[in-house]
Amino acid sequence: MVKAAALLRGGGMRLVQAMRPGQSSFRRLRRGSMEQIVPETETDFVAARTHMVESQLRPNRVSDPRVLAAMLSLPRERFLPESLAAFAYVDDDVPLGAGRVLMEPMALARLVQLAEPRAGERALVVGAGTGLGAAVLAACGPSVTALEEDARLLATARAVLPVFAPAVQIVEGKLAEGWPAGGPWHIVLIEGAVPRIPPAIGDQLMRESGRVITVLAEPDMVGRAVVGRPSVGGLAIQDAFDCATPLLPTLAPPPAFTF
């Protein structure tokens, strides 16, 4: 018989991990309308991470061994506030407040894989949040700079990235402006959805090999993961797959005025 850890939200259940009795201990956590049966020890978190890779990533076309190895080794729970660590391995975004999230594991892994990162490249993560996406990307070979403007998220990133991805450079600035001081970039990963790619970010790409990876979406609509490459007429956008992740608040369109 298999014991399952699950997230219950509004009556729905999502599998987080499954362990045979005797292998792990669990506790029940309630947060608002959410109830979570979660790992209680470090060993349990490792088991949850393994199950995440085997049940959420491999079956959903994540095949790059570098991405899989990074997702298996990096402790997602350490990139969350302690009060939210129990939700690290749910197959959903974890809300961080102010409209920001820790991106769902499958979506993050597929976006990094879509970038086709290579050793020796320079990569910028826009909206790096607490730093997990930058850490995964850095594990795949590029030299990574993590750009964030939210002071709360920066504080977490500055605490955990030196431990788990010490080569990542952390910078503070407006997301829409990119980070021209470190460019031109081979890769720009916008870690969240945007209605359009900010022109300043497109201008910071390498002309021959640069690509921007993001999710294009409008409010309340499922987005699509895309690759944008410089071309004579601007960025040439290629659709890759459907991807539901929240809009980055400061890059989202202002609310429409209604009477």
pLDDT digits (tens, 9 = 90+) for 101-122: 999 999 999 999 999 999 999 9
What pLDDT is attached to residue 188? Answer: 98
Tokens of residue 238, six digits: 């290629």
Whether 123 is covered by a domain: the verdict is yes
In which domain, by residue range, is 215 found? 100-251
Total structural domains within the chain: 1
- Which single residue is written with the structure tokens 């201008």? 203
* More confidently predicted of 87 and 4: 87
- Burial code of 95-130, b = ≥16 C-beta within 10 A, e = fewer? ebeeebbbbbbbbbbbbbbbbebeeebbbbbbbbbb
What pLDDT is attached to residue 109? Answer: 98
Check whether the bond before 162 is cis (ω within 30° of 0). no
Distance of CA 192 to the CA centre of its chain: 7
pLDDT at 216 over 60: yes
Q: Rounded distance, CA 169 to CA 184, Å?
A: 16
pLDDT at 258 over 80: no
Whether 83 is covered by a domain: the verdict is no
CATH number for the domain including 111? 3.40.50.150
What pLDDT is attached to residue 41? Answer: 64
Confidence of residue 196 (pLDDT cuts 50, 70, 90): very high
Q: Rounded distance, CA 224 to CA 194, Å?
A: 10
Whether 168 is covered by a domain: the verdict is yes
Whether 217 is covered by a domain: the verdict is yes
| Mean pLDDT computed over 147-167 | 98
By mean pLDDT, which of 3-12, 51-60, 123-132, 149-158 is the weakest?
3-12
For 177-180, the CB contacts below 8 A with 24+ separation are 178/124, 178/126, 178/147, 178/203, 178/204, 179/124, 179/145, 179/147, 179/204, 180/204
Whether 145 is covered by a domain: the verdict is yes
Within a 10 A sphere around the Cβ of 136, how many other Cβ atoms? 28
Whether 166 is covered by a domain: the verdict is yes
pLDDT at 9 over 60: no
pLDDT at 36 over 90: no
Yes or no: say if 147 and 126 are a contact pair by the CB < 8 Å rule.
Answer: yes
Whether 51 is covered by a domain: the verdict is no
pLDDT at 63 over 60: yes
Could you say which DSSP state residue 134 is in?
H
* More confidently predicted of 257 and 247: 247
As a residue count, the chain comes to 259
pLDDT at 43 over 90: no
Q: Rounded distance, CA 212 to CA 178, Å?
A: 11
Confidence of residue 219 (pLDDT cuts 50, 70, 90): confident
Whether 70 is covered by a domain: the verdict is no
What pLDDT is attached to residue 12? Answer: 34
Yes or no: say if 164 and 78 are a contact pair by the CB < 8 Å rule.
Answer: yes
Task: Give the whole-number percent of the chain exceeding pLDDT 90.
Answer: 77
What pLDDT is attached to residue 6? Answer: 40
